[in-house]
Amino acid sequence: MVDALIQKIDQREYNIGIVGLGYVGLPLALTAIEAGFTVTGLDIDPTKIEQLRAGHTYIKHIGEERVRKAVETGRLHVTSDYSEAAVPDCLILCVPTPLGKHMEPDISFITNTMDSLLPHIRKGQLISLESTTYPGTTFETVVTPVQEKGFTVGEDIFVAYSPEREDPGNPNFETKTIAKVVGGHTANCLELAKKLYNQVVDNIHEVSSCEVAETAKLLENIYRAVNIGLVNEMKIVTDRMGIDIWEVIRAAATKPFGFTPFYPGPGLGGHCIPIDPFYLTWKAKEFGVNTRFIELAGQVNHDMPDYVLHKTIEGLNTQGKSLKGSKILVLGIAYKKNIDDARESPSCEIMELLQSYGAEIAYTDPHFPKFPVMREHSFNLSSVPFDEATLSQFDCALIATDHDAFDYELLLRVAPLIIDARGRYKRGTPKVVSA
């Protein structure tokens, strides 16, 4: 069976099913179409389906023309009808994996998706999970239920894990050029998954199991979270010493070996870095291991919005004002600059803190004309203009996300006080408080 499926892949007769057409699923779907495949996209959001059918994008860094060209090929079929999951030859799951209220993994999106797919899966299909999660999830949520349905994994159905690697807004990397880690539940599963992904992306790296691939993805994100936690703590220390942390990092980065620069900020954002380390922390407890290093970094990063709050209070105090009643303009609600993704953005946490202390808040962000619908945060706000007339109305401007679209010379000239959480200004610049 594997040989016949590989032949279908080689001849581009293989229909690729992608479940979840968000920041991971959509670029993967477009890349597969550009590689000559037909794609069946499934998503529970009817708005996404309508926009894609019309050739429109809902993710700004994915160009409208790219979506339109995919639609014009006739090889993109999108639907919210999960009964059509029987059509594609594989099902690649690209669904969220958030945290619960007590920092425990929430894999309900995976389990709910599998519940919807199970009545329709058929022999010969490959099911590949791409969602970031703890080791063993693929076995628990994919292998076990398909086996209970009567399939034999590795013989008449195939299961793999290949973690997503997306960096929204980074022009240097795209789905096709980012190496793909692939693990299979059996040798046949790995062989089929390797063959498929090799046709879509430039390079793959095979590992011995799904569990290794799951853990590799966590290590990637934990590495970033821990180093960001370190540099955030360094920022607090150097601030007390009157030293510019950004100048320190630039100096250290001149070392050509043994040092990778990481940069401080107002907290962690995005779907991966603030969340994924706690998936391993939670799983490690099952084996009697306390991940103290990871948890400490998590706590440092979690506390950064509160640090920015208190730097704002200090800045206002120097002007004889209290936070209560002050008008604060937050620059940027995306979790990083130049993108339209606000998932887990520290800006939202900062806005809630400011509001809880009695500040009047507004925001400006060219990527979000209206505050987006979010699970954890809700503000009935729209983006205000970034111009001299608007800036002059506020007691303080807080740089939470340093979009390139902002005019920082204008901001410095007009704003009475700037709280700089992104290092846009040199330490000691008049009217600027480094945060």
DSSP state of 74: T
CATH number for the region 2-211 comes to: 3.40.50.720
Question: Residue 321: left if φ>0, alpha if ψ -120 to 50, beta else—which one?
Answer: beta
Estimate to the nearest angstrom the gap between the alpha carbon of 249 and the chain centroid. 25
C-alpha dihedral (351, 352, 354, 356), degrees to nearest 10: 160
Look up 90 and say whether it is catalytic.
no
Structure tokens at 285: 């407890």
DSSP-derived secondary structure for 139-164: IIIIIHHHHHTT--BTTTBEEEE---
> Are the C-beta atoms of residues 285 and 102 closer than 8 Å to each other?
no
Tokens of 50: 């309508």
CA distance 228 to 342: 19
Closest CA to 130 of 202, 87, 84, 193: 193
- 3-class secondary-structure state, position 97: coil
R_g (Cα) of the chain, nearest Å: 24
Phi, psi (rounded to 5 degrees) for 169: 85, -5
User: What is the amino acid identity at position 172?
Assistant: N
Q: How far is CA 117 from the centre of its chain?
A: 25
Active-site entry in 90, 94, 272, 348: 272
Superfamily of domain 252-434: NAD(P)-binding Rossmann-like Domain (3.40.50.720)
Q: What is the dihedral of CA 342, 343, 345, 347, to 10 degrees?
A: 40
A 10 A CB-CB count for 34 gives 16
CATH 3.40.50.720 placement within the chain: 2-211, 252-434
Structure tokens at 126: 């490959």
- pLDDT tens series, the chain, 435 aa: 899 999 999 999 999 999 999 999 999 999 999 999 999 999 999 999 999 999 999 998 898 999 999 999 999 999 999 999 999 999 999 999 998 877 899 999 999 999 999 999 999 999 999 999 999 999 999 999 999 999 999 999 999 999 999 887 788 888 999 999 999 999 999 999 999 999 999 999 999 999 999 999 999 999 999 999 999 999 999 999 999 999 999 999 999 999 999 999 999 888 788 888 999 999 999 999 999 999 999 999 999 999 999 999 999 999 999 999 999 999 999 999 999 999 889 999 999 999 999 999 999 999 999 999 877 788 999 999 999 999 999 999 999 999 999 999 999 999 999 999 999 999 999 999 999
Whole-model pTM: value is 0.91
